[in-house]
Amino acid sequence: MVVVGAGIVGAAVAWRAARAGLRVTVLDPSPGDGATRAAAGMLAPVSETWFGEQAAVRLGLAGRDAWPAFAAELAAETGADPGLRPTGTLLVAYDADDAAHLRRWLDLHASWSLESAALAPAEARRREPLLGPRLAGAAWVPGDDVADPRATHAALLAALRERRGAAVVPRAGVRLLRDARGAVVGVVDDAGETHRAGAVVLATGWRAAELVAGLPVAVPVRPVRGQTLRLDAGPDVAPSHVVRGTVQGRPVYVVPRGPGTGRGPGATPEHREVVVGATSEEGPDDRRATAGGVFALLRDARALLPGLDEAALVETTARARPATPDNLPLVGPTDVPGLHLAAGHHRNGVLLAPVTADAVVAGLEGDDPPAALAAADPRRFTPTPVRGA
C-alpha cells in the first residue's frame, strides 16, 4: 500500500499497517510539517465537546481510549516516549459570562454522561496555584489527558524507518494511477516515479481533495488556520495541569509538557515547554504568525496564568487544520476501489490518529471499522447518483 501524507495520521496508519504485515510506502516531502507541527496534543473529547456534536464526542472518546495501548506499543517498539501524560484538564472561566457558559457546558456533559465536575475557584487554585486571582468559575475533566505530537510523530517515523517492508520517501504524491476498471493501483510522485500498490490511503490533511479531482469521490476538506505558541517556562511559572479557559468569550488553552522539556540556553531540567493555543481562522495555509494572533493568545493566557509573563517565547507556529462540513473526519474506503481516506481531522488529528489507523487497517483488510467510526465514513459526502460509478 501507499500512504500519501506523513503527518501524525498518515504515519500512524502506515505504522499500524506495517505491523499488520502490509508492505507500506509513505510519500511526504516534509513529514510532520503540517497541522501536526502546530498541535498541542490535547486528548480532550470532553473539553472540546460542542452542542449538537454527539457523534464527534463518541468518536473522540474512542480516540482517547485507543491512546494508551498505541503509546505503549510505540514506546516498546522504539524506546521513545510519546509523552502521554494522565494530566486531566482544568476548565476555567474568567468573568461571569464565561462562568455562565461553563455551567451550560457542564450541563451538556451531564446530559451526555461525560465525566466532568464543577470546582470552586479556590479549589481550582489549590490544584493549580499559578492560576490568577480573577476566576469566576472552574471545572475538572479527569480523563482529558495530553500526548506530545512531535515526540509521537518522531517515534512513528523511526519505527517506520526500522521496519522491513516499510519505506518513507521524501516526495509528494502528485497523481493517482488507475487501471482499466477505474481502481486506484498506485501513485506517481513529484520526481515522476511510480509507486504501484493494492491500495492508496490519502492522509494529506487539508490538501486531501487535490489528488481526487475527476474521481467520483467527494472530499470536502478546507483549511482552517490555527496559530500556537511555544514557551520555555521555569518551575515558578509553568503550570502543571492542562488549563483550558474562556476569557470574555474567547477560548484559550495552555498545555504544559513534563519537566525537562524546556528549550533554549536558560532551560534547566525543571523547565517545561508550554504550548498556548489556538486561533481558528477560515483561510489558507499561510505559515506566518500574525501580530494580532500572538497578542490575543498571550493576552488571554496571561489573564488566566499571569506568571507566563516571565516565560520565554521560543516559537510561533501557524498551520492549517483540515476541516470538514460536519466537523467529522473522512476515514475508510471510498467508492473508488483501492482508494481510502484518512483526512479531515480538523482539531483532533492527534486524538484520533490511533483509532483512525485501526479503522483504516480494518478497511484495508475488508473488516468493519470500530463502531464509533461509522460517522466518519467518507462516502457520506458522495452524492448518491455517482455512488458505485
Rule CB under 6 A: which residues touch ligand GLY? 42, 226, 277-278, 321, 347
Backbone angles phi, psi at 164, to 5 degrees: -65, 140
**Least distance from ligand GLY to the Cβ atom of residue 168, Å:** 25
Please give the angle made by the CA atoms of 124, 49 and 224, to the nearest 5 degrees. Answer: 110
What stretches of the chain adopt beta strand conformation (E)?
Answer: 2-4, 24-27, 42-43, 89-93, 117-119, 137-141, 145-146, 166-169, 173-178, 184-189, 194-196, 200-202, 222-233, 242-247, 250-256, 272-277, 281-282, 312-323, 330-333, 339-343
Q: Which is nearer to ligand GLY, 207 or 321 (CB)?
A: 321
Q: Which is nearer to ligand GLY, 173 or 277 (CB)?
A: 277
**Least distance from ligand GLY to the Cβ atom of residue 301, Å:** 13
CA torsion, ordered 254, 142, 74, 54, to nearest 10 deg: -90
**Rounded Cα distance, 303 and 283, in Å:** 28
**Least distance from ligand GLY to the Cβ atom of residue 40, Å:** 6
Q: Which is nearer to ligand GLY, 42 or 362 (CB)?
A: 42
Q: Which is nearer to ligand GLY, 277 or 370 (CB)?
A: 277
**Least distance from ligand GLY to the Cβ atom of residue 196, Å:** 36
Q: Which is nearer to ligand GLY, 277 or 354 (CB)?
A: 277
**Least distance from ligand GLY to the Cβ atom of residue 327, Å:** 11
**Least distance from ligand GLY to the Cβ atom of residue 38, Å:** 8
How many CA atoms lie less than 13 Å away from 370 in the CB half-sphere?
20
**Least distance from ligand GLY to the Cβ atom of residue 356, Å:** 15
**Least distance from ligand GLY to the Cβ atom of residue 41, Å:** 9
CA torsion, ordered 278, 272, 144, 346, to nearest 10 deg: 30
The answer to whether residues 48 and 347 touch, using CB atoms and an 8 Å cutoff, is yes
Q: Which is nearer to ligand GLY, 15 or 253 (CB)?
A: 253
**Rounded Cα distance, 330 and 332, in Å:** 7
Burial of 363 (0-12, 13-18, 19+ CB in 10 A): buried
Q: Which is nearer to ligand GLY, 241 or 347 (CB)?
A: 347
**Rounded Cα distance, 230 and 149, in Å:** 13
Q: Which is nearer to ligand GLY, 195 or 321 (CB)?
A: 321
